[in-house]
Structure 1
Amino acid sequence: MPIRDFPPFRDLREFVRHLDAAGDVARVAEPVDLVHDMAEVHRRVIARDGPALVFERPRDASGRILPVPVIANLFGTRERVAAGLGIRPERLAELGEALASLREPQPVDGLRDALARLPILRAAMRTRAETVDRPVVQEEVRTGRDVDLGTLPVQTCWPGEAGPLITWGVVTTRPPDSETVAGYNLGIYRMQVLGPDRVIMRWLHHRGGAKHHAQWAAQGKDTPVAVAIGTDPATMLAAVLPLPEALSEVRFSGLLRGARPRLAKARTVPLLVPADSEIVLEGFVSATETAPEGPFGDHTGYYNAVEPFPVMRVTAITTRRDPTYLSTFTGRAPDEPAVLGATFNELFLPIVKRAFPEIVDVWLPPHACSYRMAIIAIKKRYPGHARRIMMGLWGMLPQFTYTKLIVVVDDDVDPRSWDDVAWAIATRFDASRDLVVIDRTPIDYLDFASPLSGLGGKLGIDATNKIGTETSREWGAVLKATPEVTARVDALWSKLGL
């Protein structure tokens, strides 16, 4: 990507050093329990927009101090997410425009336009993966009976959870009929630890990993999987960004990083893995075996229901000689997924505007689980315009599939201000006319408020000024001081002693 303010971060360590130099890392020398306490420390720090945390002496349930330190709260602020993307936060909108161009590239308009695009073409060359023969992530290799997930500092975050949970693993899968990197899927899926070499892979049906698993299972085969823990920030963020389905996360990570992805052959599965990771778990997800997963605390602020998901048998753990484990917790905002979602909102806005130019701003409130509610400000031009926007977002953009409430306001309303939104609803909305209710639509199956798992209703609220045939009454005029009054009081203000 030709938009970059910082040098490429080849691995997690370089990124942490960058944050450390900025005074944005706190190191905890005191032993901290992996069961509940570490998550509670993290929760308090992220609520204060605090630094990334390095727990140097994690303590397991038996009281043993593990030699592998834990990094948490890595992406706990907007500034650190932007730094992971290689930019300063004020350039997020610019990066969003570049992402929008990738999704809908425009035809070249003459020689000058072609020359202007040369930086993008040069950046595209960085998407080609480089194969590394002796990767640092394979300095230590454990296979067979030596595989023991108990040697890793895996957290149990909330009381009542079913057990330790791996939360920040970048899961790599591929379809059975292709071994090219272009066909790889990278995703972040949580994994419940069942034993020394068994975990539950919780991937949702619409995600790329689950799609590949279904393809392997249709052939009666287990799915080869590699889970990279502690990769460079570009790889982690590429795995969670709303990229076009045809765009490989591996290749995009190179574009984002400004350097070619470095991959290495896994030891026990037919996959390439991020060569500079801290830890990689290799194994196979069963085509037939499942186990009850959960309950675990979720981004909703509730414990999720116990449901069956496929079991992964770990065939190898490869690490650096002195690895660091990356972890997080999920719960009611603020948590790292909420911070990521709020930051990605700024990247996503140019993409939405490409589809609907009349949209001025979009806000996905983090405390509404980031995507379940959307406030949309538009330049309204005709009767029914707000309803068209609701239908378009629900029907055309996959990112709004699980958004169950959309509030549309005019462009004189700040959608990020609850005071403004409440005023618009109170003065421009009538329940008998301005509600749009749709039932039996796809809903996040974690949303237990829906009447059926994965199937529920959507609500649209038209809080715009009513024009034309939308109303038969004279519409009110908004109170506003004239420019002349504003200028006179501005000139007078310093004399008023206020």
Structure 2
Amino acid sequence: MGGRLLSAVDLRTFLRQLEANGLLVRIAHEVDPDQEVTIIQHRVLAEAGPALLFERVKGSPYRLVTNLFGTPERVELAFGRPPRAVGDELARLAERLMPPTLSAVWAERRELWRVARARLRSVRSGPVLETCTSPPQLDRLPCLTCWPLDGGPFFTLPLVHTVDPRTGVGNLGIYRLQRFDAASTGMHWQIEKGGGFHFQSACERGVSLPVSVFLGGPPALTLAAIAPLPEGVDERLLAALLMGRPLDVIPRTETGHRIPAAAEFVLEGSVTAGDMRQEGPFGDHLGHYSHRAPFPVFRVDRLLARRDAIYPATVVGKPPQEDYYIGAALQEMALPLLRLLRPAVSDLWAYPETGFHPLSVAAVRERYRREALKHALGLLGEGQLSLTKIMIVVDPEVNVRDFRKVSRAVWENFDASDRLHVLAPTAQDTLDFTGPAMNTGSKLILLATRGEQPPRRCQPPPPPPPASAVHAGVLGLAAVGEAFLVAQVSDGVDRPAVRRALAAHPVTREYLFHVLVSADVPLDDSRLVLWGWFTRFDPLADLHPAQRETVGNRLILHPPIAIDATWKPGYRQPVAFDPDRARQVEKNWDRYGISRRAR
């Protein structure tokens, strides 16, 4: 991992790196945190543009930085090296030292020393203690209202730190915080989140849970907070590893926490059982407004900050956004470690286009018939992977990152009699709105491994016919590989009639799956096709086969199988810009000092 610093020690160092490389733009024109920043960032990110440092923000004395991680290049700078290299070295070290021997320890002594430096180092003071405001005056911070129907301004890049009351082990995660007033926020702990487990433990003991929220600091802290680490591993240790040095922290008697000395801001307070408030809606990374629901209230006692603190934020919505590139990089880092733990799994990819949890594809080495199902179920029992809605399993030679290649594997190897498994009811991602209630839904496993068998189908289906030849309510047809035919349908169309028409047409019936999507899903944008498809269907409710067959206690779905991924009443609304705000941004564009290319 080298003897140099790998990842920047604080936000300011990272901004200087970006600016020196032409990857940051300073915007002197005053901007409104209510939607204007969202539109600017969206346009810049769509053109792979720079990070944005807003030096004048309406209603706040603080500067605001966004789009820090909006390209793979900037994410790699934040890591300090290619993400896969980090995972490769950790996996190699672990493999070399299992079981530990004196010769192996000696051979790896340099790497072991660097890993040993990945620790928390207590210091007495630091820049974050330069100011302390109590009551905290949160209304002076430039929190973003990202979308028109958001429930208010939100902290969108908060690093929420808690400590398990049972074990004393820390957790760091990113959970959105809706600013309710000058001294309180919501605490959006979703299921399968470490902070939420800590809160549950505190409630069982009848005590409040101290919370510290870090804003800014080493960029490695942000990456670590999102990383899919095992429960009970403190994410701050990963941040120190990425930096190649100890993470300086300041012990705080008020909370019992150790806070990053180099943070820009720290909010200190607590959450208490029974102190709940309606939170949301919020335009989230699934590209829709998530549920308005009761969540714990974070009561903030004080605000610590540097004198000239910079407020970091991000914007989420339809892909791609910053989380697209962060999530892809973290998957690259985690893959070597996953292979170490599960040698039969050669690759795994959760699709950023879908918001990650809705679709994962795993490549496995199948040694006997149906072994792929064992691996699928094993992966669905692992931490954040347990929230996966659709799991497709393919052979190792299939590129899991290319959905058309995955579709070909499904076409060649799918057998309806034993290769489709619906699991219901199951727990589901809190942000997924397709199930019967929050946190509940179903899962679909498609097995597309060949093993020693020849392909079941070799000749691909014919190209799709004109949409008008199938049904008047079909606006367009597009094949996504050989197995899936996507049909864009008009709003209010008779969907069962469309399904019947697709199953009856001599060309479309040749496809294994017919996917119905709404008119707002453009068929010429492969990312948004996957977004509109996988965020808008529940396997238990929305699979409609040409025929259902009962064999013993097993239900077999025969193709063509229609997947109704249209937007339905009761679903969350998709996010969209306010047209007047978008026109105002266009009018002001030259004042921002950003290249016209990012319009």
Tell me, yes or no, whether TM beats 0.5. Answer: yes
- Residue in 1 aligned with 2:420? 435
Q: Structure 1 residue 349: deviation in Å? A: 1.6
> Aligned residues, how many?
460
- Residue in 1 aligned with 2:10? 11
Hey, what's the Cα distance between the residues in 1 that align with 2:288 and 2:254? 37
8 Å CA contact retained: 1:171, 1:225: yes
Q: Output aligned runs, 1:49-448, within 5 Å.
A: 49-60=48-59, 66-87=60-81, 89=82, 92-100=83-91, 106-108=97-99, 110-144=101-135, 147-176=136-165, 183-266=169-252, 268-395=254-381, 397-448=382-433
Sort the Cα spacing of 1:296 and 1:141 in 2 relative to 1 into closer, same or farther, 3 A: same
Hey, what's the Cα distance between the residues in 2 that align with 1:129 and 1:6? 16
Q: Structure 1 residue 433: deviation in Å? A: 3.6
- Residues 355-403 of structure 1, C-alpha deviations (whole Å, 9 max, x = no match): 33233322221111113211222344332132222122113x2232011
Sort the Cα spacing of 1:108 and 1:386 in 2 relative to 1 into closer, same or farther, 3 A: closer
Sort the Cα spacing of 1:111 and 1:223 in 2 relative to 1 into closer, same or farther, 3 A: closer
Hey, what's the Cα distance between the residues in 2 that align with 1:204 and 1:171? 13
Residue aligned with 1:206, SS? coil
8 Å CA contact retained: 2:179, 2:186: yes
8 Å CA contact retained: 1:99, 1:347: no
Hey, what's the Cα distance between the residues in 1 that align with 2:94 and 2:155? 32
8 Å CA contact retained: 1:108, 1:114: no
Q: Structure 1 residue 267: deviation in Å? A: 6.9
Hey, what's the Cα distance between the residues in 2 that align with 1:153 and 1:25? 19
Answer with 51-60 or 419-428: which moved more.
419-428
8 Å CA contact retained: 2:392, 2:445: yes
Hey, what's the Cα distance between the residues in 2 that align with 1:363 and 1:295? 29
- Residues 9-47 of structure 1, C-alpha deviations (whole Å, 9 max, x = no match): 221111111121111111112211100010111112222
- Residues 95-121 of structure 1, C-alpha deviations (whole Å, 9 max, x = no match): 113344687784355443212221232
- Residues 327-369 of structure 1, C-alpha deviations (whole Å, 9 max, x = no match): 0112121112222111112112212322332333222211111
Sort the Cα spacing of 1:21 and 1:429 in 2 relative to 1 into closer, same or farther, 3 A: same
- Residue in 1 aligned with 2:447? 462
Hey, what's the Cα distance between the residues in 2 that align with 1:447 and 1:414? 27
Answer with 440-449 or 276-285: which moved more.
440-449
2:223 partner amino acid: L
Hey, what's the Cα distance between the residues in 2 that align with 1:77 and 1:38? 18
1:11 partner amino acid: D
- Residues 214-250 of structure 1, C-alpha deviations (whole Å, 9 max, x = no match): 2222333221111110111122222111122232222
Q: Structure 1 residue 7: deviation in Å? A: 4.4
User: Can you give the 5+ residue segments of structure 1 that lack an aligned partner in the other structure?
Assistant: 61-65, 480-498
1:448 partner amino acid: F
Residue aligned with 1:312, SS? strand
Alignment RMSD (CA, Å):
2.4
Answer with 101-110 or 218-227: which moved more.
101-110
- Residues 191-227 of structure 1, C-alpha deviations (whole Å, 9 max, x = no match): 1111111111111243221222222223332211111
- Residue in 2 aligned with 1:485? none
Hey, what's the Cα distance between the residues in 1 that align with 2:455 and 2:443? 31
Hey, what's the Cα distance between the residues in 2 that align with 1:23 and 1:111? 48
Sort the Cα spacing of 1:431 and 1:301 in 2 relative to 1 into closer, same or farther, 3 A: same
Hey, what's the Cα distance between the residues in 2 that align with 1:39 and 1:243? 30
1:276 partner amino acid: A
Q: Structure 1 residue 475: deviation in Å? A: 5.3
Hey, what's the Cα distance between the residues in 1 that align with 2:397 and 2:159? 42
1:454 partner amino acid: N
Hey, what's the Cα distance between the residues in 1 that align with 2:435 and 2:91? 33
8 Å CA contact retained: 1:428, 1:466: no
1:312 partner amino acid: F
Q: Structure 1 residue 50: deviation in Å? A: 1.8
8 Å CA contact retained: 1:141, 1:317: yes
Residue aligned with 1:401, SS? helix
Q: Structure 1 residue 4: deviation in Å? A: 7.5
Hey, what's the Cα distance between the residues in 1 that align with 2:457 and 2:212? 60
Hey, what's the Cα distance between the residues in 2 that align with 1:190 and 1:124? 31
Hey, what's the Cα distance between the residues in 1 that align with 2:449 and 2:239? 40
Sort the Cα spacing of 1:113 and 1:150 in 2 relative to 1 into closer, same or farther, 3 A: same
Q: Structure 1 residue 256: deviation in Å? A: 2.1
User: Can you give the 5+ residue segments of structure 2 that lack an aligned partner in the other structure?
Assistant: 461-599
8 Å CA contact retained: 1:193, 1:199: yes
Hey, what's the Cα distance between the residues in 2 that align with 1:434 and 1:37? 48
Hey, what's the Cα distance between the residues in 2 that align with 1:474 and 1:122? 51
- Residue in 1 aligned with 2:38? 39
Q: Structure 1 residue 265: deviation in Å? A: 3.2
- Residues 66-113 of structure 1, C-alpha deviations (whole Å, 9 max, x = no match): 3311110111122222221221x3xx2221133446877843554432
Residue aligned with 1:157, SS? coil
Sort the Cα spacing of 1:224 and 1:475 in 2 relative to 1 into closer, same or farther, 3 A: closer
Hey, what's the Cα distance between the residues in 1 that align with 2:206 and 2:327? 37
Percent identical residues: 36
Residue aligned with 1:141, SS? strand
2:55 partner amino acid: E
Hey, what's the Cα distance between the residues in 1 that align with 2:306 and 2:48? 31
8 Å CA contact retained: 1:171, 1:187: yes
Hey, what's the Cα distance between the residues in 1 that align with 2:3 and 2:195? 30
Hey, what's the Cα distance between the residues in 1 that align with 2:45 and 2:6? 26
Q: TM-score, structure 1 length as denominator?
A: 0.86
